[in-house]
Chains A and B, each alone.
Chain A
Amino acid sequence: MTHETEGASQDESYRGTIAAPAIPKLKPPLINPVWVRVTHWCTALAVVLMVLSGWRIYDASPVFHGLTIPPQWTLGGWLGGALQWHFAAMWLLFASFLAYLLLNLFTGRFRRKFFPLSPRAVIQDLFKALTGRLGHQDLSHFNAVQKLAYISAIIALIVIVLSGLAIWKSVQFSLLRDLMGGYDNARIVHFCAMAFIVLFVLVHVVMVALVPRSLLTMLRGR
Protein backbone atom coordinates (compact mmCIF):
# COMPACT_ATOMS: atom_id res chain seq x y z
CA MET A 1 0.00 0.00 0.00
CA THR A 2 2.72 2.47 1.01
CA HIS A 3 5.00 1.93 -1.98
CA GLU A 4 2.08 2.59 -4.24
CA THR A 5 1.61 6.13 -2.89
CA GLU A 6 5.34 6.74 -2.93
CA GLY A 7 5.54 5.72 -6.57
CA ALA A 8 2.66 7.97 -7.47
CA SER A 9 4.14 11.06 -5.86
CA GLN A 10 7.51 10.47 -7.49
CA ASP A 11 6.06 10.04 -10.92
CA GLU A 12 3.86 12.90 -12.06
CA SER A 13 2.96 11.39 -15.41
CA TYR A 14 1.90 8.22 -13.71
CA ARG A 15 -0.33 10.12 -11.32
CA GLY A 16 -1.68 12.18 -14.14
CA THR A 17 -2.86 9.22 -16.13
CA ILE A 18 -4.26 7.29 -13.24
CA ALA A 19 -5.70 9.70 -10.76
CA ALA A 20 -7.54 11.86 -13.28
CA PRO A 21 -10.65 9.72 -13.72
CA ALA A 22 -10.97 9.48 -9.91
CA ILE A 23 -11.55 5.75 -9.69
CA PRO A 24 -13.16 4.86 -6.38
CA LYS A 25 -10.81 2.67 -4.36
CA LEU A 26 -12.13 -0.87 -4.31
CA LYS A 27 -11.31 -2.37 -0.94
CA PRO A 28 -12.03 -6.05 -0.40
CA PRO A 29 -14.43 -6.59 2.49
CA LEU A 30 -12.95 -6.72 5.98
CA ILE A 31 -12.79 -10.33 7.20
CA ASN A 32 -10.93 -9.97 10.49
CA PRO A 33 -11.55 -6.74 12.41
CA VAL A 34 -8.53 -5.28 14.16
CA TRP A 35 -9.50 -6.69 17.59
CA VAL A 36 -9.61 -10.22 16.18
CA ARG A 37 -6.13 -9.79 14.73
CA VAL A 38 -4.64 -8.20 17.86
CA THR A 39 -6.11 -10.80 20.23
CA HIS A 40 -5.24 -13.64 17.83
CA TRP A 41 -1.55 -12.71 17.66
CA CYS A 42 -1.24 -11.85 21.36
CA THR A 43 -2.84 -15.16 22.27
CA ALA A 44 -0.60 -16.96 19.78
CA LEU A 45 2.53 -15.40 21.28
CA ALA A 46 1.32 -16.16 24.81
CA VAL A 47 0.59 -19.79 23.86
CA VAL A 48 4.08 -20.23 22.38
CA LEU A 49 5.72 -18.77 25.50
CA MET A 50 3.49 -20.76 27.85
CA VAL A 51 4.10 -24.05 26.01
CA LEU A 52 7.88 -23.66 25.74
CA SER A 53 8.30 -22.61 29.39
CA GLY A 54 5.72 -25.20 30.47
CA TRP A 55 7.79 -27.96 28.87
CA ARG A 56 10.74 -26.94 31.02
CA ILE A 57 8.59 -26.99 34.16
CA TYR A 58 7.20 -30.38 33.11
CA ASP A 59 10.74 -31.78 32.83
CA ALA A 60 11.46 -30.96 36.49
CA SER A 61 9.00 -33.71 37.45
CA PRO A 62 7.48 -35.50 34.44
CA VAL A 63 3.83 -36.47 34.81
CA PHE A 64 4.38 -39.42 32.50
CA HIS A 65 7.46 -41.40 33.43
CA GLY A 66 9.86 -41.70 30.55
CA LEU A 67 8.37 -38.77 28.66
CA THR A 68 10.58 -35.71 28.84
CA ILE A 69 10.95 -32.75 26.49
CA PRO A 70 14.43 -32.09 25.04
CA PRO A 71 15.74 -29.02 26.96
CA GLN A 72 16.77 -27.25 23.75
CA TRP A 73 13.09 -26.98 22.82
CA THR A 74 12.23 -25.24 26.05
CA LEU A 75 12.29 -21.69 27.36
CA GLY A 76 13.74 -20.39 30.62
CA GLY A 77 17.07 -22.21 30.95
CA TRP A 78 16.19 -23.81 34.28
CA LEU A 79 13.09 -24.48 36.40
CA GLY A 80 13.20 -21.06 38.11
CA GLY A 81 13.60 -19.21 34.81
CA ALA A 82 10.86 -21.26 33.14
CA LEU A 83 8.49 -20.52 36.04
CA GLN A 84 9.18 -16.80 35.67
CA TRP A 85 8.36 -16.96 31.95
CA HIS A 86 5.28 -19.08 32.58
CA PHE A 87 3.85 -16.79 35.25
CA ALA A 88 4.62 -13.66 33.21
CA ALA A 89 3.17 -14.98 29.93
CA MET A 90 0.05 -16.10 31.80
CA TRP A 91 -1.00 -12.44 32.09
CA LEU A 92 -0.69 -11.96 28.34
CA LEU A 93 -2.69 -15.13 27.73
CA PHE A 94 -5.28 -14.17 30.32
CA ALA A 95 -5.73 -10.61 28.99
CA SER A 96 -5.76 -11.39 25.27
CA PHE A 97 -7.83 -14.55 25.47
CA LEU A 98 -10.38 -12.94 27.79
CA ALA A 99 -10.63 -9.93 25.44
CA TYR A 100 -11.05 -12.34 22.50
CA LEU A 101 -13.83 -14.26 24.25
CA LEU A 102 -15.71 -11.20 25.52
CA LEU A 103 -15.51 -9.29 22.23
CA ASN A 104 -16.62 -12.39 20.31
CA LEU A 105 -19.60 -12.79 22.60
CA PHE A 106 -20.63 -9.14 22.71
CA THR A 107 -20.20 -8.37 19.01
CA GLY A 108 -22.14 -11.50 18.04
CA ARG A 109 -19.16 -12.68 15.97
CA PHE A 110 -19.08 -15.93 17.86
CA ARG A 111 -22.63 -16.85 16.91
CA ARG A 112 -22.19 -15.54 13.37
CA LYS A 113 -18.93 -17.30 12.56
CA PHE A 114 -19.15 -20.58 14.44
CA PHE A 115 -22.82 -21.48 14.23
CA PRO A 116 -24.82 -23.31 13.07
CA LEU A 117 -22.57 -26.33 13.34
CA SER A 118 -23.78 -29.90 12.90
CA PRO A 119 -21.85 -33.17 13.11
CA ARG A 120 -23.19 -34.00 9.65
CA ALA A 121 -21.68 -30.85 8.15
CA VAL A 122 -18.36 -31.61 9.85
CA ILE A 123 -18.25 -35.11 8.35
CA GLN A 124 -19.23 -33.80 4.91
CA ASP A 125 -16.60 -31.06 4.93
CA LEU A 126 -13.97 -33.38 6.34
CA PHE A 127 -14.64 -35.82 3.51
CA LYS A 128 -14.44 -32.98 0.98
CA ALA A 129 -11.19 -31.78 2.50
CA LEU A 130 -9.61 -35.23 2.42
CA THR A 131 -10.59 -35.72 -1.22
CA GLY A 132 -9.29 -32.25 -2.10
CA ARG A 133 -12.68 -30.83 -3.00
CA LEU A 134 -13.10 -28.33 -0.17
CA GLY A 135 -12.96 -24.80 -1.57
CA HIS A 136 -11.40 -21.81 0.17
CA GLN A 137 -12.66 -19.07 -2.13
CA ASP A 138 -14.53 -17.18 0.56
CA LEU A 139 -12.23 -16.73 3.55
CA SER A 140 -14.87 -14.81 5.47
CA HIS A 141 -16.77 -18.05 5.88
CA PHE A 142 -15.52 -20.96 7.99
CA ASN A 143 -16.20 -24.48 6.80
CA ALA A 144 -17.60 -26.93 9.33
CA VAL A 145 -14.23 -28.55 10.07
CA GLN A 146 -12.73 -25.13 10.75
CA LYS A 147 -15.60 -24.24 13.05
CA LEU A 148 -15.14 -27.42 15.05
CA ALA A 149 -11.34 -26.99 15.19
CA TYR A 150 -11.53 -23.38 16.39
CA ILE A 151 -14.23 -24.10 18.95
CA SER A 152 -12.18 -27.05 20.25
CA ALA A 153 -9.10 -24.84 20.51
CA ILE A 154 -11.11 -22.25 22.47
CA ILE A 155 -12.40 -24.94 24.83
CA ALA A 156 -8.89 -26.37 25.24
CA LEU A 157 -7.60 -22.90 26.14
CA ILE A 158 -10.34 -22.51 28.74
CA VAL A 159 -9.50 -25.95 30.18
CA ILE A 160 -5.77 -25.21 30.23
CA VAL A 161 -6.33 -21.91 32.07
CA LEU A 162 -8.66 -23.49 34.63
CA SER A 163 -6.43 -26.51 35.25
CA GLY A 164 -3.44 -24.18 35.45
CA LEU A 165 -5.20 -22.13 38.12
CA ALA A 166 -6.04 -25.34 39.99
CA ILE A 167 -2.35 -26.32 39.99
CA TRP A 168 -1.09 -22.84 40.89
CA LYS A 169 -3.59 -22.22 43.66
CA SER A 170 -4.84 -25.64 44.68
CA VAL A 171 -5.76 -24.43 48.19
CA GLN A 172 -7.29 -21.04 47.30
CA PHE A 173 -9.22 -22.33 44.24
CA SER A 174 -10.50 -25.47 45.94
CA LEU A 175 -13.55 -25.70 43.68
CA LEU A 176 -11.37 -25.76 40.56
CA ARG A 177 -9.08 -28.31 42.21
CA ASP A 178 -12.04 -30.58 42.94
CA LEU A 179 -13.41 -30.06 39.41
CA MET A 180 -10.08 -31.25 38.03
CA GLY A 181 -10.16 -34.31 40.26
CA GLY A 182 -7.53 -33.13 42.74
CA TYR A 183 -4.08 -31.54 42.49
CA ASP A 184 -2.24 -34.45 40.83
CA ASN A 185 -5.03 -34.99 38.32
CA ALA A 186 -5.10 -31.29 37.45
CA ARG A 187 -1.53 -31.71 36.18
CA ILE A 188 -2.67 -34.50 33.84
CA VAL A 189 -5.57 -32.35 32.58
CA HIS A 190 -3.16 -29.43 32.08
CA PHE A 191 -0.79 -31.65 30.09
CA CYS A 192 -3.53 -33.12 27.89
CA ALA A 193 -4.96 -29.67 27.12
CA MET A 194 -1.42 -28.56 26.20
CA ALA A 195 -0.98 -31.56 23.90
CA PHE A 196 -4.28 -30.77 22.18
CA ILE A 197 -3.35 -27.11 21.71
CA VAL A 198 0.07 -28.01 20.28
CA LEU A 199 -1.62 -30.42 17.86
CA PHE A 200 -4.10 -27.71 16.90
CA VAL A 201 -1.30 -25.20 16.28
CA LEU A 202 0.59 -27.67 14.06
CA VAL A 203 -2.49 -28.44 11.93
CA HIS A 204 -3.44 -24.75 11.88
CA VAL A 205 0.00 -23.74 10.59
CA VAL A 206 -0.05 -26.45 7.90
CA MET A 207 -3.49 -25.28 6.77
CA VAL A 208 -2.30 -21.67 6.59
CA ALA A 209 0.67 -22.84 4.51
CA LEU A 210 -1.78 -24.54 2.12
CA VAL A 211 -4.01 -21.43 1.87
CA PRO A 212 -1.52 -18.54 2.33
CA ARG A 213 -4.21 -15.90 1.65
CA SER A 214 -5.70 -16.77 5.04
CA LEU A 215 -2.50 -15.48 6.69
CA LEU A 216 -3.04 -12.12 4.97
CA THR A 217 -6.55 -11.86 6.34
CA MET A 218 -5.13 -12.30 9.83
CA LEU A 219 -2.42 -9.67 9.16
CA ARG A 220 -4.21 -6.85 7.33
CA GLY A 221 -7.79 -7.95 7.88
CA ARG A 222 -8.72 -8.50 4.21
Chain B
Amino acid sequence: MTTRKKTSLLIDPSLDRKLILKDAEKELKLPTRRLFAKRALTLGGLSMLTGCHLTDEKSVSTFLTAVSRFNDQVQGLLFDPHKLAPEYSEAMLTRPFPFNAFYDIDSVPEVNGNDYKLEISGLVQDKHAWNLSELYALPQTSQITRHICVEGWSAIGHWGGTRFSDFLQRIGADTTAKYIGFKCADDYYESIDMATALHPQTLLTFTYDGQTLPPKYGYPMKLRMPTKLGYKNPKHITAMFVTNTYPGGYWVDQGYNWFGGS
Protein backbone atom coordinates (compact mmCIF):
# COMPACT_ATOMS: atom_id res chain seq x y z
CA MET B 1 0.00 0.00 0.00
CA THR B 2 2.83 2.38 0.91
CA THR B 3 4.43 2.05 -2.48
CA ARG B 4 1.17 2.85 -4.15
CA LYS B 5 0.49 5.82 -1.85
CA LYS B 6 3.85 7.36 -2.63
CA THR B 7 3.36 6.81 -6.28
CA SER B 8 -0.03 8.43 -6.29
CA LEU B 9 1.17 11.48 -4.34
CA LEU B 10 4.32 12.05 -6.32
CA ILE B 11 3.08 11.68 -9.82
CA ASP B 12 2.19 14.51 -12.05
CA PRO B 13 -1.62 14.58 -12.40
CA SER B 14 -1.20 14.71 -16.12
CA LEU B 15 0.42 11.30 -16.20
CA ASP B 16 -1.64 8.27 -16.90
CA ARG B 17 -2.47 7.16 -13.35
CA LYS B 18 -4.24 4.13 -14.59
CA LEU B 19 -1.21 2.64 -16.27
CA ILE B 20 1.15 3.47 -13.42
CA LEU B 21 -1.19 1.86 -10.91
CA LYS B 22 -1.50 -1.18 -13.05
CA ASP B 23 2.27 -1.61 -13.11
CA ALA B 24 2.49 -1.16 -9.35
CA GLU B 25 -0.23 -3.74 -8.83
CA LYS B 26 1.65 -6.22 -10.96
CA GLU B 27 4.81 -5.73 -8.95
CA LEU B 28 2.92 -6.38 -5.76
CA LYS B 29 1.06 -9.41 -6.92
CA LEU B 30 3.55 -11.36 -8.92
CA PRO B 31 5.85 -12.68 -6.17
CA THR B 32 2.88 -13.85 -4.09
CA ARG B 33 1.31 -15.40 -7.14
CA ARG B 34 4.47 -17.27 -7.91
CA LEU B 35 4.79 -18.46 -4.34
CA PHE B 36 1.18 -19.59 -4.27
CA ALA B 37 1.55 -21.46 -7.54
CA LYS B 38 4.70 -23.15 -6.33
CA ARG B 39 3.05 -24.22 -3.09
CA ALA B 40 -0.09 -25.42 -4.78
CA LEU B 41 1.94 -27.53 -7.13
CA THR B 42 4.09 -29.31 -4.60
CA LEU B 43 3.53 -33.00 -4.27
CA GLY B 44 3.70 -32.40 -0.53
CA GLY B 45 0.20 -30.97 -0.79
CA LEU B 46 -0.98 -34.14 -2.42
CA SER B 47 0.82 -36.41 -0.01
CA MET B 48 -1.23 -34.89 2.83
CA LEU B 49 -4.10 -36.92 1.45
CA THR B 50 -2.37 -40.26 1.74
CA GLY B 51 -1.73 -42.51 4.68
CA CYS B 52 -4.15 -43.88 7.21
CA HIS B 53 -4.45 -40.85 9.47
CA LEU B 54 -7.32 -39.48 7.40
CA THR B 55 -9.28 -42.73 7.66
CA ASP B 56 -8.81 -42.80 11.41
CA GLU B 57 -10.71 -39.57 11.83
CA LYS B 58 -14.06 -40.56 13.26
CA SER B 59 -16.12 -38.10 11.23
CA VAL B 60 -14.51 -39.20 7.97
CA SER B 61 -15.16 -42.83 8.83
CA THR B 62 -18.79 -42.06 9.75
CA PHE B 63 -19.24 -40.25 6.47
CA LEU B 64 -17.71 -43.07 4.42
CA THR B 65 -19.89 -45.64 6.19
CA ALA B 66 -22.98 -43.53 5.45
CA VAL B 67 -22.02 -43.39 1.76
CA SER B 68 -21.49 -47.16 1.79
CA ARG B 69 -25.01 -47.69 3.16
CA PHE B 70 -26.31 -45.29 0.50
CA ASN B 71 -24.49 -47.44 -2.08
CA ASP B 72 -26.36 -50.47 -0.68
CA GLN B 73 -29.62 -48.74 -1.59
CA VAL B 74 -28.34 -47.82 -5.07
CA GLN B 75 -27.23 -51.39 -5.70
CA GLY B 76 -30.61 -52.65 -4.51
CA LEU B 77 -32.21 -50.43 -7.17
CA LEU B 78 -29.73 -51.51 -9.86
CA PHE B 79 -30.28 -55.19 -9.09
CA ASP B 80 -32.41 -56.83 -11.76
CA PRO B 81 -33.93 -60.04 -10.33
CA HIS B 82 -34.12 -61.56 -13.83
CA LYS B 83 -30.61 -60.67 -15.02
CA LEU B 84 -28.47 -63.80 -15.09
CA ALA B 85 -24.76 -64.03 -14.49
CA PRO B 86 -22.92 -65.58 -17.45
CA GLU B 87 -22.42 -69.36 -17.34
CA TYR B 88 -19.36 -71.09 -18.76
CA SER B 89 -18.31 -74.44 -20.18
CA GLU B 90 -16.44 -77.20 -18.29
CA ALA B 91 -13.31 -76.30 -20.26
CA MET B 92 -13.22 -72.83 -18.79
CA LEU B 93 -13.08 -73.99 -15.15
CA THR B 94 -10.26 -72.47 -13.11
CA ARG B 95 -8.10 -75.36 -11.88
CA PRO B 96 -7.30 -75.53 -9.07
CA PHE B 97 -10.07 -73.30 -7.81
CA PRO B 98 -8.45 -70.97 -5.23
CA PHE B 99 -9.08 -71.47 -1.53
CA ASN B 100 -9.95 -68.22 0.20
CA ALA B 101 -11.06 -67.46 3.75
CA PHE B 102 -10.21 -65.19 6.69
CA TYR B 103 -7.94 -68.01 7.97
CA ASP B 104 -5.31 -70.40 6.56
CA ILE B 105 -6.24 -73.62 4.81
CA ASP B 106 -4.94 -75.54 7.87
CA SER B 107 -7.70 -73.98 9.98
CA VAL B 108 -10.62 -75.11 7.80
CA PRO B 109 -13.32 -76.42 10.18
CA GLU B 110 -14.07 -80.14 10.19
CA VAL B 111 -17.81 -80.59 10.17
CA ASN B 112 -19.19 -84.06 10.97
CA GLY B 113 -21.86 -84.77 8.36
CA ASN B 114 -23.57 -87.43 10.46
CA ASP B 115 -24.69 -85.14 13.25
CA TYR B 116 -24.92 -82.02 11.07
CA LYS B 117 -28.15 -80.02 11.30
CA LEU B 118 -29.14 -76.84 9.49
CA GLU B 119 -31.07 -74.76 12.00
CA ILE B 120 -33.81 -72.49 10.73
CA SER B 121 -35.29 -69.55 12.62
CA GLY B 122 -36.97 -66.18 12.19
CA LEU B 123 -39.86 -65.36 9.89
CA VAL B 124 -40.50 -68.92 8.60
CA GLN B 125 -43.38 -71.35 9.13
CA ASP B 126 -41.43 -74.65 9.22
CA LYS B 127 -38.57 -74.23 11.69
CA HIS B 128 -37.48 -77.88 11.83
CA ALA B 129 -33.73 -78.46 11.57
CA TRP B 130 -32.56 -80.20 8.37
CA ASN B 131 -30.06 -83.05 8.28
CA LEU B 132 -27.86 -83.77 5.27
CA SER B 133 -29.87 -86.63 3.80
CA GLU B 134 -32.98 -84.43 3.79
CA LEU B 135 -31.03 -81.64 2.08
CA TYR B 136 -29.47 -84.01 -0.49
CA ALA B 137 -32.97 -85.27 -1.35
CA LEU B 138 -34.05 -81.80 -2.55
CA PRO B 139 -34.23 -81.19 -6.34
CA GLN B 140 -30.65 -80.59 -7.53
CA THR B 141 -29.22 -78.34 -10.23
CA SER B 142 -25.74 -77.04 -11.06
CA GLN B 143 -23.98 -74.03 -12.53
CA ILE B 144 -20.58 -73.02 -13.83
CA THR B 145 -20.17 -69.36 -12.94
CA ARG B 146 -17.54 -66.77 -12.17
CA HIS B 147 -16.63 -66.15 -8.57
CA ILE B 148 -15.45 -62.53 -8.21
CA CYS B 149 -13.42 -61.66 -5.16
CA VAL B 150 -13.57 -58.19 -3.59
CA GLU B 151 -9.79 -58.13 -4.04
CA GLY B 152 -10.30 -58.10 -7.79
CA TRP B 153 -9.33 -61.59 -8.92
CA SER B 154 -11.91 -63.98 -10.33
CA ALA B 155 -12.19 -67.73 -10.87
CA ILE B 156 -14.70 -69.95 -12.65
CA GLY B 157 -16.14 -72.76 -10.57
CA HIS B 158 -18.74 -75.52 -10.81
CA TRP B 159 -21.25 -75.76 -7.98
CA GLY B 160 -24.22 -78.10 -7.52
CA GLY B 161 -27.17 -77.86 -5.15
CA THR B 162 -30.74 -76.75 -4.78
CA ARG B 163 -32.30 -73.46 -5.75
CA PHE B 164 -32.43 -71.29 -2.67
CA SER B 165 -35.75 -69.68 -3.71
CA ASP B 166 -37.36 -73.19 -3.84
CA PHE B 167 -35.95 -73.96 -0.42
CA LEU B 168 -37.30 -70.71 1.03
CA GLN B 169 -40.72 -71.54 -0.38
CA ARG B 170 -40.53 -75.06 1.04
CA ILE B 171 -39.88 -73.82 4.56
CA GLY B 172 -42.57 -71.14 4.27
CA ALA B 173 -40.22 -68.18 4.59
CA ASP B 174 -41.73 -64.70 4.62
CA THR B 175 -40.29 -63.50 1.31
CA THR B 176 -41.42 -59.94 2.05
CA ALA B 177 -38.84 -59.79 4.84
CA LYS B 178 -35.71 -57.74 4.15
CA TYR B 179 -32.82 -60.01 5.13
CA ILE B 180 -31.62 -63.56 5.45
CA GLY B 181 -28.82 -64.11 7.91
CA PHE B 182 -26.35 -67.03 8.08
CA LYS B 183 -24.16 -68.47 10.82
CA CYS B 184 -21.26 -70.74 9.91
CA ALA B 185 -19.15 -73.46 11.51
CA ASP B 186 -16.02 -71.31 11.07
CA ASP B 187 -17.60 -68.46 13.08
CA TYR B 188 -18.19 -66.54 9.89
CA TYR B 189 -21.53 -64.78 9.61
CA GLU B 190 -23.17 -63.00 6.70
CA SER B 191 -26.50 -61.64 5.53
CA ILE B 192 -28.10 -60.96 2.17
CA ASP B 193 -31.08 -59.08 0.72
CA MET B 194 -34.27 -60.96 -0.13
CA ALA B 195 -34.13 -60.06 -3.84
CA THR B 196 -30.78 -61.82 -4.24
CA ALA B 197 -31.99 -64.76 -2.12
CA LEU B 198 -34.81 -65.27 -4.62
CA HIS B 199 -32.58 -64.91 -7.71
CA PRO B 200 -32.76 -68.05 -9.91
CA GLN B 201 -28.96 -68.55 -9.80
CA THR B 202 -28.74 -68.40 -6.01
CA LEU B 203 -28.04 -71.99 -4.96
CA LEU B 204 -27.69 -73.80 -1.67
CA THR B 205 -24.77 -75.94 -2.81
CA PHE B 206 -23.59 -79.38 -1.63
CA THR B 207 -21.16 -80.31 -4.42
CA TYR B 208 -18.15 -78.83 -6.15
CA ASP B 209 -17.24 -80.06 -9.66
CA GLY B 210 -19.49 -83.11 -9.23
CA GLN B 211 -17.99 -84.20 -5.88
CA THR B 212 -19.29 -83.66 -2.36
CA LEU B 213 -18.29 -80.13 -1.38
CA PRO B 214 -14.78 -80.53 0.11
CA PRO B 215 -14.02 -78.86 3.49
CA LYS B 216 -11.88 -76.17 1.84
CA TYR B 217 -14.84 -75.02 -0.28
CA GLY B 218 -17.36 -75.07 2.58
CA TYR B 219 -18.51 -78.61 3.51
CA PRO B 220 -21.28 -79.43 4.00
CA MET B 221 -23.01 -76.45 2.46
CA LYS B 222 -22.21 -73.12 0.84
CA LEU B 223 -24.61 -70.48 -0.41
CA ARG B 224 -23.48 -69.65 -3.91
CA MET B 225 -24.55 -66.35 -5.51
CA PRO B 226 -22.91 -65.44 -8.84
CA THR B 227 -24.52 -61.99 -8.49
CA LYS B 228 -22.48 -61.21 -5.39
CA LEU B 229 -18.80 -60.86 -4.46
CA GLY B 230 -17.04 -63.82 -2.85
CA TYR B 231 -17.21 -62.67 0.78
CA LYS B 232 -21.02 -62.56 0.56
CA ASN B 233 -21.12 -66.34 -0.13
CA PRO B 234 -21.06 -68.06 3.29
CA LYS B 235 -19.49 -71.54 3.67
CA HIS B 236 -20.05 -74.24 6.32
CA ILE B 237 -23.54 -72.83 7.00
CA THR B 238 -25.04 -74.21 10.23
CA ALA B 239 -27.94 -71.83 10.78
CA MET B 240 -30.07 -69.40 8.81
CA PHE B 241 -32.75 -66.93 9.83
CA VAL B 242 -35.20 -64.65 8.04
CA THR B 243 -35.45 -61.18 9.58
CA ASN B 244 -36.24 -57.52 9.14
CA THR B 245 -33.41 -56.49 11.47
CA TYR B 246 -30.12 -55.79 9.71
CA PRO B 247 -27.77 -58.63 10.69
CA GLY B 248 -24.46 -57.34 9.23
CA GLY B 249 -21.61 -59.70 8.41
CA TYR B 250 -18.06 -60.68 9.37
CA TRP B 251 -16.32 -58.44 6.80
CA VAL B 252 -19.20 -56.02 6.44
CA ASP B 253 -18.91 -55.04 10.11
CA GLN B 254 -15.26 -54.18 9.43
CA GLY B 255 -16.03 -51.90 6.50
CA TYR B 256 -16.79 -53.97 3.39
CA ASN B 257 -19.91 -52.87 1.56
CA TRP B 258 -22.96 -54.85 2.70
CA PHE B 259 -24.75 -55.33 -0.63
CA GLY B 260 -21.52 -56.44 -2.35
CA GLY B 261 -23.30 -57.17 -5.59
CA SER B 262 -21.79 -57.55 -9.05
The residues of A with any CB-CB pair to B shorter than 8 Å are: 3-4, 7, 10-11, 13-14, 17-18, 21, 23, 26, 48-49, 52, 57-58, 60-61, 63, 72-81, 83-85, 87-88, 91, 167-172, 174, 183-184, 187, 205, 208-209, 212, 215-216
- Contacting residue for A52 out of B17, B49, B64, CB 8 A: B49
CB distance from B227 to the nearest CB of A (A): 5
Q: Chain A contact residues: over half helix, strand or loop, or mixed? A: helix
- Contacting residue for A170 out of B8, B37, B148, B150, CB 8 A: B148
Cα–Cα distance between A130 and B21 once the two chains are bound (Å) = 37
Assess whether B49 is in contact with A77, with CB atoms less than 8 Å apart.
no
The residues of B with any CB-CB pair to A shorter than 8 Å are: 1, 4-5, 8-9, 17-18, 21, 25, 33-34, 37-38, 40-41, 46, 49-52, 54-56, 63-65, 67-68, 71, 75, 78-80, 83-86, 146, 148-154, 226-227, 251, 254-257, 261-262
**B5 to chain A: closest residue by CB:** A14
Assess whether A171 is in contact with B83, with CB atoms less than 8 Å apart.
yes
CB distance from B15 to the nearest CB of A (A): 12
Assess whether A83 is in contact with B257, with CB atoms less than 8 Å apart.
yes
Interface centre among A18, A63, A87 (most CB of B within 10 A): A87
Assess whether B86 is in contact with A174, with CB atoms less than 8 Å apart.
yes
Chain A residue contacts of B41, Cβ below 8 A: 205, 208-209, 215
Chain A residue contacts of B1, Cβ below 8 A: 3, 7, 10-11, 14
Assess whether B55 is in contact with A77, with CB atoms less than 8 Å apart.
yes
CB distance from B46 to the nearest CB of A (A): 7
- Contacting residue for A187 out of B40, B46, B75, B152, CB 8 A: B152
**B51 to chain A: closest residue by CB:** A72
Cα–Cα distance between A183 and B226 once the two chains are bound (Å) = 13
Assess whether A170 is in contact with B50, with CB atoms less than 8 Å apart.
no
Q: Are A209 and B255 CB-contacts (below 8 A) given A18-B17, A76-B55, A87-B71?
A: no
Assess whether B262 is in contact with A168, with CB atoms less than 8 Å apart.
yes
Cα–Cα distance between A76 and B86 once the two chains are bound (Å) = 32
CB distance from B92 to the nearest CB of A (A): 11
Assess whether B255 is in contact with A81, with CB atoms less than 8 Å apart.
yes
CB distance from A204 to the nearest CB of B (A): 11
